[in-house]
Amino acid sequence: MVFWEPVFADETGVPQLSCPGPSLAPMVENTPDRSDSPISVKTRQFDARKMGMAVAREEVELRRADQVLTTELLEYDTQTEIVTMPGKVSYEDSVMYINGTSAKYNFLEESGEFIDVDYGIVGSSARGTATEVTLEAGDHSILHHLQFTTCPGETPEWLLRAKELDLDFEEGMGTVKGAQLRFFDIPFLYLPYMTFPIDDRRKSGFLYPYISTANDNGFEFSIPYYWNIAPNQDATITPRYFTERGFMLTGEYRFMTRRTVGELDFDYLHDDKKTGERRFHYRFAHTAQFSPRWYSQLLVDRVSDDQYFQDFSNSLASASRQYLRSKYGIYGSGRFWQLRTYIDDFQVVDEAVNLINKPYTRLPRVVFDLDQPLGIRGLGFQLDAELVYFDRDIGVTGARLDIYPRFMWNIETNWGYVRPSAGYRYTLYDLNWHQVPGDLDRTPDRGTEILSFDTGLFFERDGKNGNLQTLEPRLFYLYVPYEDQKGIPIFDTAPYTFGFSQLFHYNRFTGADRQSDANQLTLALTTRTIDQVNGRELWSLSFGQILYFEDQRVLSIDDIPLLSEDSSPFIAELVVNLTNRLNARIGTQWSWQDNNFDVAVLGATYTSPRGLRLGAEYRYRRGSVDQFDIRYYQPINESWRALARVNYSLLDSDLLSAEAGIEYDSCCWAIRMVAKRFLRNREGDHRDALYVQLVLKGLGDFGRKTAPLFYDLAY
C-alpha cells in the first residue's frame, strides 16, 4: 500500500494551512476615548480660510486617537469638525478599515459616510465591498448593497450578498437583511433576515442545520437555536425531523455559579411513527461545592424504553449500553481521610439482562477510608469501612456492614522496599429473604484475617549506548484463612478480571460479599530500559504468576467445583516506546492447565513525520472475545485528509463497526464526509449512516461531527 505524504507540515508533523488570519475578529474591549483627543494633520499643502475652513492637499494624513484618514484632498470645518474628502480616501481605526471613492466624516458625532468602498475588519480575514458605508458612534457600522466573505483571494469560495449589513461591535453581532449566500458562485441559501457573530462572544440565534441519513431512521434534518440566557447560563434547543420517525425536540441547558455547575440534556419524541409510542431520554448532572473539602454530585439519567439507544445512537458504544445510573452523593475529605455517601439506582436498558441480574439500588451507601501515619517512620494504620442497604423488587434485600482495619509498614530505600501488612476484615448482614424456601440466617457474618508481605528490589546498570536498564524482582505473599460463605447472598460481587494488578491484590472479588481464601506466593519480575537524556521509558517487560500452596475454596457461584490448580495463569506484558512515533503493547495470559491462551492483547500505533496515523489492536479472551480494531488517518496534503476504522469480531464472524471518510480544509471553508456502519442490537441489525459537516469559516458549521479515531489527535 502506498501512502501520500503531505508537503506542508509544522515541527510536529501535522500539515498546516497558510491562511492570512483568523476568520473572526478579536473582541473589542476598550475603544479609545476620542472626544478629548487632539487632531493632527500632515500634508504637503495646507490653506486656512475664513469662517474656520481649512484645505489640505497632497499626501494628506489626519489622525485622532486610533483613527487615521489618508487622501489627496481634504476639507475641514473647524467649527463643526466635519471632514469632506471628494476623492479617494482610506480610513482605519481599531475596528474597521475602509477604502472608498469619497467620504464625509463628523468628528463630533463620530459618524460618517463612505461611498463605493472596500472594507475589512481589523484582526480578521473578514472583508468585502459595499456601495455605501455609514459609521455611527464609533462602534457601529451600516453597509449597503454589500458583499462579505472571510475567504482570501480574488474569487472567494463563499460569498454573502445582502441589501444591508449592520455591524454592532459593542455587542459583537452582525445583522443582515436580504441576504443571499453563494457557494462557488451557486446560490446556496436565501435569508430575508439573519444574525451572526463577528467576534468570539456568545449570542442568541439560529445555528446551522444538521443533516444525516440512516437506513433505519431515514433522512434527518434539524435546526438548533442557541439562547444566550445570561453570562452564566445558556441553552440550545434543536427541533429535529426524521422521515421514518417524526419530530423530535432535543435540548441542552447549562448553568454555572460560584459554587455550582449543572447541565440538563433531553430528547423528546411525542409519537414515533414506527412504534406509535412516546420516546425520550433525559440526563441532569449537578455539582455543588459547599467548602474546599465538601461537595455534592447529582446525576439523573433515564430513558423511555430499552430500544431507545439502539434506535437513535450514532455509535456502537452508545447502542450497546446495558444500564443507566442515577445517583446523589455528598463527598468530603481531609488530610488522611475520605468520606463518600450516596444513593444510586440503575435502569436496565438491555432486554437481554434478566431481572434477577439487575443491579441493586443502594439506599444509601456510606464509605469511609482512613490512611493515618503513626509515629514510627513508614508505619501506618489504614481503614476501609462501608455501610450499605441493598433494595430490589426481586431476590434477597438487606443491609451490609464491611470493615477492614489493618496496620502497614512501608520500609523504602533506594535499592528496594519491604511492606508487611496485617488486618482483619469483618462483614455483617441484616437480610430480608423473599421467595426463598427454608430457614435461612437473617444476620450472617464473616470475619477473616488478612496477612500479606510485599517486597521488591531495584537493580540498575548503564548500557553501552548510555541508556539505563533496570531489573526489578518482586515477591508478594498473601494468607487469608478459609471462611464458609454459602449463606451470604451476592449483592454487588463478581470475580475481578484477572490481570497483572491482580497478582498483588488481597481479594479475587469486587465488593464485600465474597472474600477469597489464600495461601499463595506471587513471583514477578519487571525489566525496563530508560533513556537517561529525556527520562523516557523505551520499553518494559513484566511477567508474573501466583503459586497456590492450598486449593482455593471460596467461589462466587456455589455449584462450581473447588479450584485445584497449583498456579494461576502466567501473565506477561510488554510495552515498547522505541521512538516518539511508534508504540506497541502486548499482554498475554497463558493457562498451564489447558495449555492455551486465556487472554491476549496486541496493539500498536504509528505516527509518521508527516502526520500519517495508524493504529491496530487485537483482543482475545477465550470463549467471549476475539476481535480486531484497525484505525487509519492520512493527511494527503495541506487541505485533504482521509480516515477509516474497522472493528470486526472473529468469534461471531460479524462486523461490529466500520467507518470511512474524507476531509477537506481551506482557509475559508471545510467539509467532512463520513460513511458509517455499526451493529445496533443483539439480533445482528446494522445501522448504515452518512454524516456530512460543512463549515463556512466566519459564519458557522453545518452538520454533525463524529467521534475521533485517535483520541489524542484533534481534528
pLDDT digits (tens, 9 = 90+) for 400-425: 999 999 999 999 999 999 999 999 99
Q: What is the mean pLDDT of residues 97-104?
A: 90
Q: What is the pLDDT of residue 9?
A: 45
Average confidence score pLDDT of the chain:
86
Q: What is the pLDDT of residue 436?
A: 54
Q: What is the mean pLDDT of residues 335-347?
A: 95
The yes-or-no verdict on residue 707 having pLDDT over 60 is: no
3-state secondary structure of 317: helix
In angstroms, the CA 236 to CA 265 distance is 9
The yes-or-no verdict on residue 619 having pLDDT over 50 is: yes
Residues 359, 323 contacting (CB under 8 angstroms): yes
**Which of the pair, 402 or 220, is modelled with greater confidence?**
402
Residue 425 domain flag: no
In angstroms, the CA 371 to CA 221 distance is 55
The region of weakest confidence among 277-281, 386-390, 463-467, 620-624 is 463-467
Q: Which residues contact 347 (CB under 8 A, 6 or more apart)?
A: 301, 302, 303, 323, 324, 326
Question: How long is the chain?
Answer: 715
Q: Could you tell me how far CA 653 lies from the centroid of its own chain?
A: 32
Residue 258 domain flag: no
H, E, C per residue of 522-582: EEEEEEEEECCCCCCEEEEEEEEEEEECCCECCCCCCCCCCECCCECCEEEEEEECCCCCE
Residues 288, 282 contacting (CB under 8 angstroms): no
The region of weakest confidence among 354-358, 510-514, 609-613 is 354-358
Q: How many CB atoms lie under 10 A from the CB of residue 702? A: 19
In angstroms, the CA 637 to CA 244 distance is 40
Residue 5 binned pLDDT confidence (cut-offs 50, 70, 90):
very low
Number of domains into which the chain is organized: 1
The yes-or-no verdict on residue 15 having pLDDT over 60 is: no
Residue 358 binned pLDDT confidence (cut-offs 50, 70, 90):
confident
In angstroms, the CA 15 to CA 611 distance is 7
What's phi and psi for 310, nearest 5 deg?
-65, -35
Q: What is the pLDDT of residue 702?
A: 52
In angstroms, the CA 570 to CA 542 distance is 11
In angstroms, the CA 160 to CA 309 distance is 40
In angstroms, the CA 74 to CA 91 distance is 13
Residue 168 domain flag: yes
**What is the reported pTM?**
0.78
Residue 104 domain flag: yes
Q: What is the pLDDT of residue 250?
A: 94
In angstroms, the CA 141 to CA 31 distance is 15
In angstroms, the CA 281 to CA 304 distance is 6
Q: Vertex 576, ends 573 and 578: CA angle to 5°?
A: 165
**Which of the pair, 232 or 26, is modelled with greater confidence?**
232
Residues 554, 485 contacting (CB under 8 angstroms): yes
Q: What's at 18, amino acid-wise?
A: S
Q: What is the mean pLDDT of residues 474-485?
A: 95
Residue 2 binned pLDDT confidence (cut-offs 50, 70, 90):
very low
Q: What is the mean pLDDT of residues 167-175?
A: 80
In angstroms, the CA 590 to CA 620 distance is 12
The yes-or-no verdict on residue 359 having pLDDT over 50 is: yes
Which residues span the domain enclosing 157?
40-199
Residues 545, 568 contacting (CB under 8 angstroms): yes
Residue 542 binned pLDDT confidence (cut-offs 50, 70, 90):
very high
Residue 479 domain flag: no
Residue 538 domain flag: no
pLDDT digits (tens, 9 = 90+) for 656-692: 999 999 988 887 888 888 888 988 877 778 888 888 8
In angstroms, the CA 191 to CA 256 distance is 34
Q: What is the pLDDT of residue 138?
A: 63
Q: What is the pLDDT of residue 80?
A: 83
Q: What is the pLDDT of residue 374?
A: 93
Q: Which strand (E) or helix (H) includes residue 377?
A: none
Q: What is the pLDDT of residue 3?
A: 28
Residue 343 domain flag: no
All three cell numbers of 506, joined, read 488481597
**Which of the pair, 8 or 615, is modelled with greater confidence?**
615
Q: Which residues contact 309 (CB under 8 A, 6 or more apart)?
A: 281, 303, 318, 319, 321, 349
The yes-or-no verdict on residue 245 having pLDDT over 70 is: yes
Residue 439 binned pLDDT confidence (cut-offs 50, 70, 90):
low
What's phi and psi for 355, nearest 5 deg?
-60, -30
Q: What is the pLDDT of residue 29?
A: 53
The yes-or-no verdict on residue 554 having pLDDT over 70 is: yes
Residue 21 binned pLDDT confidence (cut-offs 50, 70, 90):
low
In angstroms, the CA 451 to CA 479 distance is 5
How many CA atoms lie within 13 Å of 652's alpha carbon, on the beta-carbon side? 14
Q: What is the pLDDT of residue 566?
A: 87
Q: What's at 119, amino acid-wise?
A: Y
**Which of the pair, 199 or 165, is modelled with greater confidence?**
165
Q: What is the pLDDT of residue 37?
A: 79
The yes-or-no verdict on residue 265 having pLDDT over 70 is: yes
The region of weakest confidence among 203-212, 223-232, 564-573 is 203-212
Q: Which long-range contacts (CB under 8 A, 24 or more apart) does 580-588 make?
A: 580/607, 581/606, 581/607, 581/608, 581/609, 582/606, 582/607, 587/499, 587/500
Residue 105 domain flag: yes
As a whole number of Å, the CA-based R_g of the chain is: 35
Q: What is the mean pLDDT of residues 614-632?
A: 93
Q: Could you tell me how far CA 484 lies from the centroid of its own chain?
A: 46
Q: Which residues contact 41 (CB under 8 A, 6 or more apart)?
A: 56, 60, 61, 62, 63, 74, 76
pLDDT digits (tens, 9 = 90+) for 279-333: 999 999 999 999 999 999 999 999 999 889 888 887 777 878 889 999 999 999 9
Residue by residue, DSSP assigns 329-376 as EEEEE-SSEEEEEEEEEEEE--TTS-GGGSPPEEEEEEEEEEEEE-SS
Residues 533, 555 contacting (CB under 8 angstroms): no
- For 1, counting Cβ atoms within 10 Å of its Cβ (0-12 exposed, 13-18 middle, 19+ buried), the class is exposed
Q: What is the pLDDT of residue 27?
A: 47
CATH code where residue 99 lies? 2.60.450.10
Strands (E), 356-495: 361-373, 379-391, 397-409, 411-413, 416-432, 445-457, 459-462, 468-480
- For 680, counting Cβ atoms within 10 Å of its Cβ (0-12 exposed, 13-18 middle, 19+ buried), the class is buried
